[in-house]
Chain A
Amino acid sequence: MASLRDIRKRIRSVKNTRQITKAMKMVSAAKLRKAQDGILAARPYATMLDQIIADLAARAGDESLSHPLLMARPVKRVELVLLTSDRGLAGGFNSNVIRRANRFLYENTNLESIRLSTVGRKGNDFFRNRGQNIRKDFGGLYQRLNYRAAADVAEELVASYLNGEVDAVHIVYNEFVSAISQTVKVAQLLPLQTLGTPDQAPTAGSTSLVDFKYEPDRQSVLDRLVPQAVNIKLYRALLESVASEHGARMSAMENATSNATDMIGSLTLTYNRTRQAVITKELMEIVSGAEALK
């Protein structure tokens, strides 16, 4: 049986661990709140942009709208972008993305090639350690996550789509459902699929569809709108991923803290039992010693 001193040491060490997990949980909770605010703040722009594109599509009616980023071509080469975090200790956050990416690779072996690129250190480490070729690691994105940084990444991806290096770009990321729930999602970034829903009635300027004017002209406006929509899509995925990361870490640390508390409880019980046993033993020794002197 472990000595009293050993148990005391264990208890102290578990208490220290609990302190750390508790602090990490609190830090994650604060960061989660910030990340959620970020998602909310990004919503108006995204909704309006979607609306404008949907209106534009609706007004165009039968005239076809064409833009290179909307045109699907036979898919032979695909790029898969993994959104993971830079840090671990976030439960299944990173491993879920990695597992999903592996499944994607496994399911699409009929393609000519699948390139990988990563945002976040964890995904990059995993595939690099397994000798997988990673085309590009968009590192350090989380230190300065703003729209501009996301747009830079999106523009790079758009460029390789336009010059024919890849025929489609997919992203794997954690979709933020709630603070305690995240689901892994594979979304197609390019070619862009959502050109609004035509059945939706246009809002602003809906009264006169015919008179609606574009400055300088419709195609130029569309040429700027579509890449913007791609940027926004990636930016939002990044925001969701960051919020999910903090949510996942928060619940992981919450669990760790309560596990530590359980462990301290059972260790304390063992400690007290052992202490009692030692006292009983000493008493017995004294009594039997006294008995022997009679």
Chain B
Amino acid sequence: MAKLTVEIVTPEKRILSVQADEAIVPGGRGLFGVRPGHTPFLSLMEPGALTLIESGRRESYFVAGGFVEVGNDKVLVLADAAEPVTGIDVEGARRRMAEAQERMKGMSSEDARFELEQATVRREAARIGAASSARA
């Protein structure tokens, strides 16, 4: 059976380039799975866990939002940041989330930085979620 070529790149470096049977991606409208022969499309990506399945083995990566392009059995993941879930620093993520929440307390929702902080909270929450799903 044909295989998918999955590439995860971030602005700072290429994280990974592998073959896989299936990829499960946190899309803009929930998780979606990609298998070889998938119709070509371009999607936004939300912070969350991206799972690759290769001969029955699952491997998960945390991705911090970005884009996914699917076509010709290729999955290009352009993430703002990415890391293997096994390497997630949960304590650090908790701390960053708490700090962002702390900063948000004094802000009104119109504040220019409000959205940014909100994005941080969402991202760190997704990171923690990705880490715990890997352990479960």
Contacts and interface: CB of A to CB of B under 8 A. Distances in A.
Interface of A: 38, 41-42, 44-46, 48-49, 52, 56, 146-148, 159, 203-208, 211-216, 220-221, 224-225, 228, 231-232, 235
A235 B29 CA distance: 29
A216 B70 CA distance: 14
A44 B9 contact: yes
User: Dominant SS at the A interface?
Assistant: helix
A213 B41 contact: yes
Interface residues of B, number: 29
Grouping DSSP codes into helix (H, G, I), strand (E, B) and loop, the B interface class, with mixed when no group exceeds half, is strand
Contacts of B39: 208, 211, 213
Nearest to A202: B71
Interface in B1-39: 7, 9-14, 27-29, 32, 39
Given A44-B9, A48-B76, A208 B43 contact: no
Contact of A49 (B28, B72, B74, B78): B78
A216 B28 contact: yes
B70 A44 contact: no
A215 B78 contact: no
B31 to A, nearest CB: 12
A48 B17 CA distance: 14
B80 A147 contact: yes
Contacts of B114: none
